[in-house]
Amino acid sequence: MTGRTINPTAETERFQVLDLLRGFALCGILLANIVAMGQPWSRAYPAFPAQLTNPDWAAWTLQALFVEGSMRALFTLLFGAGVVLLTAWGARADRPGTADVHFRRAMLLMALGIGNAVVLLWPGDILYIYGVAAVFLFVFRKLDGRVLVALSAMLIAVFSLADAFTDWRAAVALSADPAAHAAAITALTPSAEALNAEAAVRGSGSYPAIALWSAGAFTDWALAKGAVLSVGRTVAFMMLGMGLFKLGVMTGARSMRFYLRLAVLGVAGGLAINVWETATLWRSGFDPAVWTPALTGEVGRLMLALGYLGAIMAAWKANALGLIGTGLERMGRMAMTNYLGQSLICAVLFYGFGLYDRLGWWPLWGLAAAVWVGQALFSAAWLRLFRMGPAEWAFRAVAYWTVPPLFRPRRPRSDAVAEPAPSR
């Protein structure tokens, strides 16, 4: 390879706090995903009637308040930061290979997303949409951080209005047609025939049958009109991540006071919006004709994501995370391996061991916590011997068109020195 080739990021050039944030977001994403992994895909809500005394509905409410959308938003912000990291490396010498690497990475993400859906049996994959969104990001890489934040805010406002208009138009149509309105309410509960048909496939233990079902569910989503809006929203959030990274917000460069304010305002504002949206749904009996929560949904999940970011940054700067922080940082360094690993683990548990549709929300969350612990231990053990996760290594080998070193060099004990603590 020539001196003008872009190479993978060295370990010494990593921002540890970004890995910490990735690990946290990764845990939250599994908490949001595992219910759809282990229960019917066609069931949007727990079984009606909706009652807080029902454990599943209580769990659904907690997820709507604290998890839904915000963890994916945080993960998306971090992806945007990664785009800046990649392009900054190439810009140091104005290397032409930067564009090639960026677009190869985007294509690889799309391929991995399809593989996650078809091979690892998770139709709710996010890597595919990340790859599509990444294609549009390269032209924005040199913009000032404040400009990126402003553009992102404009896009988020536009897509929030588009979501609200779509839901409002549907609500008007339902209000004008009582029969259609009644049918939409009935459709909130999947028919026994639909549930049985899905169970016949997902509970069959047949890998080809489940893979075909998963590919179909993924394709239905990827080709739906809503996927276009989803790509647009993802671009907006990635642009925000790029801007926040350039402004030092995502690297720990801001003051403790800044991060504490971000934590308080973000969590308080995000929860206030989420409480209003959730209460609106509860008061309406989850009426499909209710459209107003769509107006604030993106803002609520963004504010909560920023609040979580601020809280974690503040705790990191105060050295208050201890072993939990170390475990999350190790998981985040292997984020792709662990994300795909979550799909693999859940496919084995739900389809291989027959746990599909056998567990309620709380047992599924307990299972998610067990996966967190297992992945934290695995990541720590793996990184003692290797520089990066297996998926990261393969991804970089193809994206950078070179073979990055995988094994850690062995050093005699007498040569070992303690690594300096990262600057806070």
The reply to whether 411 falls in a domain is no
The reply to whether 415 falls in a domain is no
Positive or negative, the CA dihedral 29, 58, 359, 190 is negative
The reply to whether 2 falls in a domain is no
Q: What angle do CA 152, 22, 349 make, to 5 degrees?
A: 120
Overall number of domains in the chain:
1
The reply to whether 4 falls in a domain is no
Question: Rounded distance, CA 260 to CA 266, Å?
Answer: 10
Residue 409 scores a pLDDT above 90: no
Instruction: Please give the average per-residue pLDDT across 120-127, as a whole number.
Output: 97
Tell me: the pLDDT tens digits for 1-52? 333 444 455 554 468 999 999 999 999 999 999 999 999 999 989 999 999 9
The reply to whether 291 falls in a domain is yes
43: left (phi over 0), alpha (psi -120 to 50) or beta: beta
Instruction: Please give the average per-residue pLDDT across 328-351, as a whole number.
Output: 98
Global pTM value: 0.91
| Cα–Cα separations (whole angstroms), residue 87 to 8, 47, 73, 91 | 11, 48, 22, 6
Q: What angle do CA 217, 218, 223 make, to 5 degrees?
A: 105
The reply to whether 414 falls in a domain is no
Residues 29, 339: contact at Cβ < 8 Å?
Answer: yes
Tell me: the pLDDT tens digits for 366-380? 999 999 999 999 999
Tell me: the pLDDT tens digits for 240-278? 999 999 999 999 999 999 999 999 999 999 999 999 999
The reply to whether 413 falls in a domain is no
Nearest CA-CA partner of 155 in 172, 171, 140: 140
Name the average pLDDT for the chain.
91
Furthest C-alpha separation in the chain: 80
Residues 60, 218: contact at Cβ < 8 Å?
Answer: no
**pLDDT grade for 99, boundaries at 50, 70 and 90:** confident
Residue 419 scores a pLDDT above 50: no
> Which pLDDT does position 97 carry in this prediction?
77
> Which pLDDT does position 1 carry in this prediction?
38
Q: How far is CA 106 from the centre of its chain?
A: 16
Domain of residue 308: give its range: 11-405
The reply to whether 6 falls in a domain is no
